[in-house]
Structures are given as C-alpha cells and as structure tokens.
Amino acid sequence: MGQPFFRIVEIGANIAWPNSDFINKEYPFIVGGLMVRFNLFRLVWRTIFVILATILAMVMPFFSEVLSLLGAIGFGPLVVFIPIQMHIAQKSIRKLSLRWCGLQFLSCLSFIVSLGAVVGSVHGIIQDFHKSDLFMYKQ
C-alpha cells in the first residue's frame, strides 16, 4: 500500500509545484563508493507518513486486526486469483479440461480461505472494539 500511495502524492506535488527545488531537486551523495540520490520532499513526506502511521498504531488498540483484515481482503485476488487467470490466459488452457478445473478449484479454495480470514478479522475487530476505549491511554 505504501509505495503506490507515496508515488501518487509525489506526482501530485510535482504537478502542483513544478518549479520548487524542495520537491523536484535530487541531491547526490556517495556512500561506500556508490552514488545515491535523495529528494528532500520525499524524505520529509515519507518520514511524516511513517510517524503518523506509528502514532495511529499506538493509539488504536486493534490496529493489528485492521491490518489483518486488509491482508485478508487483498490475499485472494492479488496472490491467487489474478495469477491463476493470467496463467490460464497465457498458456491457453482449454475450458473444462482437467488442468483448468484444477486451477479453478484452487482459486475457489483460496477464496474460501480468504473469506474465512475476513470473517475472523472482522470478529477480532468487533471483540477488541467492545473490550477497549478508543484513543484512551492505559497505564
């Protein structure tokens, strides 16, 4: 999630302020014989994002369950379904052949696992929501 989001914000800043050195200038420096370039806007923006995400994780008592929900939602389509459909299209596997049926079965099985993970994550979020006070610091 992080890298595409970072890139969208950075492209938007480049479009909004095309003449800004803070946003557009790359600063080269050498580390161990290797030249590395960094951008001040990218450094500041990503650091602030990580700090805010860390603070959010500390104040939300069920942040890990929210992350597991996002992982469960993304697992099925990104890890199993799309690659299987791409394999079927690239290899021109005939419909209703043994290989096609096996791959579709694997895809359905991973969908059921993903659905179970989503249900478990939602259940965990609901349990933690009832147990804790949001944004309250416990000593």
3-state secondary structure of 133: coil
Task: Give the percent of the chain with pLDDT over 70.
Answer: 94
Q: Give the span between the Cα atoms of 113 and 95, in whole angstroms.
A: 24
Residues 118-138 pLDDT 10s: 999 999 888 887 877 666 665
Q: How many CB atoms lie within 10 A of CB 62?
A: 19
SS3 breakdown of the chain: % helix, strand, coil, rounded to 5? 75, 10, 20
Residues 19-58 pLDDT 10s: 999 999 999 988 888 999 989 999 999 999 999 988 887 7
* Nearest-10 Cα torsion for 68, 74, 78, 80: 70
